Each structure stands twice: as C-alpha cells, then as structure tokens.
Amino acid sequence: MFFFLLPRRLYLLLFAFLAFSLTSALAQNSTTSCPLDFTVLQKLVADSKPINIGRTQQCQYLKNGLRLVQSYYLQHNNSFLPPLDSAESCWRAYQTFLNQYDTNFDVRSSCGFNTSWISQGCMNITTRAQFESRIPKSSMDNVAAVCNQSLENNSPCAACTASLTSQLAYLPGPSVGNLSDCQAYPAIYAGAFLNRYGPTDRGTAKCLFLLDLDPKKSGHKKKRVMTLVFVILGLGLVIIIGGCWFLRRRYGVLRRKRRRDSISGGGFRMGLNSGLESITDSTNLVKFTLDEIREATWNFSRENLIGRGGYGNVYKGALPDGSQVAFKRFKNLTAAGDASFVHEVEVIASVRHVNLVALRGYCTATTPSEGHQRIIVCDLMTNGSLHDHLFGSAKKKLSWPIRQRIALGTARGLAYLHCGVQPAIIHRDIKANNILLDDNFEAKVADFGLAKFTPEGATHLSTRVAGTMGYVAPEYALYGQLTERSDVYSFGVLLLELLSGKKALGLSEEGQPSPVTDWAWSLVRKGRSLDVIEDGMTELGPNDVMEKYVFIAVLCSHPQLYARPTMDQVVKMMETEQSIPAIPDRPISFVADMEDIERSVSSSGSGQLSSPSGYQLYKFETDRRSSNFKDEGSSRPSSDSRPVETL
C-alpha cells in the first residue's frame, strides 16, 4: 500500500531506475569472462627482441600466438578451446594485448576471423580425452620419444615436426575456421603434454608454433660491444695507414702467395666456411666436431660401414642422446668436392618433408694425417635403400601394400620438391639407391648432390648431363634440356623397377641393351599390362589398382616430354579415382627389330590401343600432324620428324 501513496512522478522515476538496473545486469551476464591467459604470451614477447613482420605474414603470426595460448590453456584445463559464450571476451582480451604494439590493427576485421572461431576447431574435439581417443597410443609414444626434449635446435625440431605429421591421418576433418584446425591440434597437444618444457619455452614456441622469440640482449652488453667496435675500427685505421707502404713493397710476394692459394683451393675454403655459417645461422643446423663423429662411428669402423658411392662412404652411428644417424663422408676433397658438399647441405637444409631425408648437421675439419674432412649427418634409415630390397640379398620380396606405399611416398617427396618450395628443386638423380626406407618402409628421397634450383619463371635449364644410365630422360641426355619432367621420367623408370623387379637397363638375349621402359611398353600395347608385375609378389592388390600403377609408370617414362604428367598429377592419380590420360604411342627405339618397326608403321595411321580394364590409349590422327603441343616451352614434333628414343 505504500507504493500507491507515492506521488505519480516519483513512482515513474523509481520504475525507470529498476528497469535500467535489470538491463545492466543482463548485459553483464550475457558474456562470460575469457579463461585464456594472454599474459604468458605477453611475457614471452616482452623478454624478446622486436621483430619486423609484413602485413601479409601478420595474421599468420597472430594465429600462431593464439595457438600457443590455447596449448597453455589445454595444459592447465584439459580443454583445447574456451567456451563459446566467452568468444567475444577472448577476442577483446587478445585485442587489448595487441593494442600495446599497434592500436590501428583490428585482428578480426583485418584477418577475416569470425568471432566464434576462437571457440571452434577440429571435428568437434574440445577436450584432451576426445583427442587421445582418436590417436593410437603407438603414434602418441612415437611423438613423445622425439618431442620430449629441448626443441631449440633444428635437428630435434625437424624430427618432432615430422612425427607430428603422422597424426594428421587420424584427423581427417572437418575444421571450423582456420584458427585451431586439424593441422594445429597435434602441435597444440604436443606443446601441452609431450614436451617437458611446455608451450611457453622459447624452443617449443619457435619449433611448434613458429614464433621467432629470441631473447633480448642487455644494454650493458650492447655498450661493451659498441666500445669494442670503435676500438677495433681505430686500430684498423692505424694498421691500414701504417701498412700501405709495407704492402706496396711486398706486392710481388703477395701476388705469388695468392697464386699458390688459388691453386690449393685456399680461397675457396674461405668461401666454403662463410657459406656454411650462413646456412647454419638461417636453419639452426648442428655443426658436429670430428671427435664427436669418430666416437659415434667407432672411428669409422668397417662394422659401421653401410654404403659406398662415388662421393664416398656412409657410416651408421649413435649420438649421445641415443638417436641413430647416418654419416655421409665425402672423399673428393678438392675445390670441386667442396662445392658439391656445400650445395648438398644447402639443398637438404632448405627443405623439410616427411618423404625427404632430414639433415641433422654437418662437419668440416682438417687434420694433418687425413686432410680435409667433409661429413653430412642425416637420420638413419634402418631398412636401407630400395635397391637393397629389389636387387640386393633380401630374402623376402616386398609385398604389394609396401610397394604401393613406397611409390606414393616417393611421388609425394618429388611433388614437394617441384611444387612445394620456391625456387623449385630438380633432383636429377632419382634411382633405387637414392630412395631410403625407414622402420615402416616409408620412402625418403635422399642424395641431393646433383640437385638444381630452378630460377623463377624459367621453363627449363640448359646444363651438362648428370645422373645414372637408364634413368636419364631423353631430352636431357640428348640436348641437356632439364625440367621437372626429367625427374618425372626417372620416377617412371623407378616405378617400373618397383613393380617388375627388373633393373632399369638390362641385356636382351642377343646381348643388346634392353631398357625396362621398352619391355613394359611392349606388354602394355599387347594388352598384357599385369604381366609387368613381378612374379612371386606377396599380398597382391586388386588387378585394376596394379594395372593403374603400371599405366602411371609407362606414362611417366614416356620418351617425349609433352606426354608426361607433373608429379602433382601423379600423386592425385595414385591417391584418388582420377582417370589416367591417354598414353601417346612411343617413338621407334634405336634397338627396335623389324617386327616392331612394321607394327609401328601399320598402326600409326589408324591404330588404337586400349587395355583390358578400359584405359584408352593414344590414337594418331592425320589432322594433328601439323599441330603444336606446347608444354613448358617445348613443342611436340611432327610425325615427319619423330625423335628416336635414347637409351
């Protein structure tokens, strides 16, 4: 009854105050506070040197920083993502942190991130238990074995990140947004639980989350460095002024000394050291001492010798942390040998892929008794090379599933070299000896001593011919014209070896050279594609799949460049149901007999080849003889000037 006795105006004011209070309370409860702790990222950044990041890389860098914070959140709360109702407050907290460095950059609008993405991720996986239920324990143990250490250096980091890629097969997706997608989950989990130092360690942040957080240098140290620089400059000026007169008198002696240094390669060795130091600084490779390698290989014991080649010998050994590695010891220690050594280190250090051999480090040393030592250190492949299993003393033939895995792994590694790095890399020496196999018979492409970087925009390179007889593409052997399709040809020959168990180049009954490519093609054109498959192979696959691989091998090893697919296309044909394109007829070989020549002439106008499984082969048409088929700067020759297949 008291309210009814109040004046009307006071009653209205009281009602308005109550409505405002209720609205404010609802607004405050509509958004839950953010559980993510951005102070861990702020502390790392505050203690690190400033970095310059372009606008194009800024969004990716900020995304990686958010993943580090989520890894810290997972470590303490067993949850990958904050609740959805806290998404807005989490973005505000992250924006507040970013405003300390750039007040004009709005992370959501500038990078195109939706508000809900910060609380959404891969396959509706939000908790630690859900993630662990999808990943086999064996895979988790393998990752923990290589990631539970300091990841500051490149060698353990490369081994850790390579093992993480194996878990992606168990996370096929889909992902909501791109902040915490399926590719990021293994790294977020590894940083939280599989690395002893945790996600806030500088090495872990740099390796798993790609955050360049080098510690700051103290101001006192900078002052000492500057003082030392001025002292050195002053002394240098005095030495230069005082030494000019002396150098003029000694010019003749210095000229003779330079000539001797040039002959002995001394000048080149200075370039060698500076080149390797540059590579080490940019990749964090480990520079091993000769004593460390002697201890690991039992002083290069014969018992540890696992391979020989024109470049030198390969030894197995164990590092102090127990990891098994291989040491490639160069023996051509001239100026040319040093050039090959630096080139191989540069190529392997510039790539990282699960189907490429990972470089751990190198060693350069000089001893009075043994001279110059040049050694490359890589992961040890316990199953040796593909050549060992196809043509060595292996007692058991490889099964079809293993051969299929090796073929696909090799194709993926080459596709990465051709399309996954810039500039592209042409291997130039794909063969069975250079395909190494790990514990699970996963293929690793090795030996980059002949590899070439492709200049941007170039369709081909003109260079001296290098490689192994039987694997070299015809256009490269005849004209020195090198393209990525040259590697495709070598891969086709390798795939035929893998399928048939026959060597790339053998001898016929008449003692003539007999390339495996000619032998396989003769069976394919007769409709006997499955006869290419090696007798006695265990666990045979479906006929249509094995026949498909035969056709891929024949297509890749086609003597005419325009007919070959790219390695990206090869991977798609192997991984999917994508059909194989028509296979053009082949030019007449140097060693063709009269029967083959007559068959080629009789079929060139109207002949049509097809396989029992329905793969449509190439059909010559008279109206195509004057057409130009261009591919990578090369044109298809007319029928009047058909190239002859080289051996």
Expressed in percent and rounded to 5, the helix, strand and coil fractions of the chain are 50, 10, 35
The pLDDT score that the predictor gives to residue 515 is 92
pLDDT at 612 over 50: no
Q: 337-368, pLDDT tens digit by residue?
A: 566 677 677 777 778 899 998 888 888 888 87
Query: What 8-state DSSP symbol labels residue 300?
Result: T
The mean pLDDT value for 14-34 works out to 52
pLDDT at 613 over 70: no
The pLDDT score that the predictor gives to residue 279 is 55
pLDDT at 603 over 60: no
- More confident position, 618 or 470: 470
Confidence of residue 469 (pLDDT cuts 50, 70, 90): confident
User: How distant, in Å, are the alpha carbons of 159, 409, 461 from that of 444?
Assistant: 13, 7, 26
Rounded Cα distance between 32 and 482, Å, is: 61
Rounded Cα distance between 151 and 206, Å, is: 8
Q: Decide: residue 406, CB within 10 A, 0-12 exposed, 13-18 middle, 19+ buried.
A: buried
- Is residue 308 helix, strand or coil? strand
pLDDT at 631 over 70: no
Q: Which of 379, 429, 447, 585 is catalytic?
A: 429
The pLDDT score that the predictor gives to residue 530 is 95
Characterize the bridge pairing of strands 359-367 and 286-287.
Answer: parallel
Residues sharing a CB contact under 8 Å with residue 503, sequence separation 6 or more, in sequence order: 391, 470, 497, 516
Confidence of residue 451 (pLDDT cuts 50, 70, 90): low
- Entry field: residues in the chain: 647
The pLDDT score that the predictor gives to residue 501 is 93
Rounded Cα distance between 340 and 433, Å, is: 19
Q: 76-126, pLDDT tens digit by residue?
A: 999 999 999 999 999 999 999 888 888 888 989 888 899 999 999 999 999
Q: Return the percentage of the chain with pLDDT > 90, whole number.
A: 38
The mean pLDDT value for 239-263 works out to 59
Q: 289-305, pLDDT tens digit by residue?
A: 999 999 999 999 999 99
- More confident position, 421 or 262: 421
Half-sphere exposure of 407 (CA within 13 A, CB side): 30
Structure-block tokens of residue 164: 């993480």
Q: 530-563, pLDDT tens digit by residue?
A: 999 999 898 999 999 999 999 999 999 999 988 9
pLDDT at 164 over 70: yes
- Is residue 328 helix, strand or coil? strand
Highest mean pLDDT among 195-199, 243-247, 478-482, 624-628: 195-199
Confidence of residue 625 (pLDDT cuts 50, 70, 90): very low
pLDDT at 140 over 70: yes
Confidence of residue 582 (pLDDT cuts 50, 70, 90): confident
* DSSP letter string, 495-513: HHHHHH---SEEE-TTS-E
Of the candidate ranges 328-337, 437-446, 516-525, 558-567, the one whose mean pLDDT is the lowest: 328-337
The mean pLDDT value for 565-586 works out to 90
The pLDDT score that the predictor gives to residue 626 is 31
Structure-block tokens of residue 170: 């168990």
pLDDT at 489 over 50: yes
The pLDDT score that the predictor gives to residue 355 is 93
CB 449 within 8 A of CB 340: yes
The pLDDT score that the predictor gives to residue 4 is 44
Q: 181-194, pLDDT tens digit by residue?
A: 898 999 999 999 99
Rounded Cα distance between 492 and 119, Å, is: 47
The mean pLDDT value for 5-15 works out to 51
The mean pLDDT value for 456-481 works out to 70
Residue 568 appears among annotated catalytic residues: no
Based on C-alpha coordinates, what's the Rg of the chain? 32
Average pLDDT, the chain: 78
Structure-block tokens of residue 260: 């001797």
Residue 174, preceding bond cis, omega within 30 degrees? yes
User: How distant, in Å, are the alpha carbons of 291, 312, 321, 515 from that of 294?
Assistant: 5, 16, 16, 42
User: How distant, in Å, are the alpha carbons of 207, 263, 299, 386 from that of 276?
Assistant: 22, 22, 24, 31
CB 330 within 8 A of CB 338: no
Q: What is the pTM of this model?
A: 0.52
Which residue shows structure tokens 């010798």?
Answer: 305
The pLDDT score that the predictor gives to residue 44 is 86
- More confident position, 548 or 621: 548
CB 494 within 8 A of CB 636: no
436: β partners: 385, 444
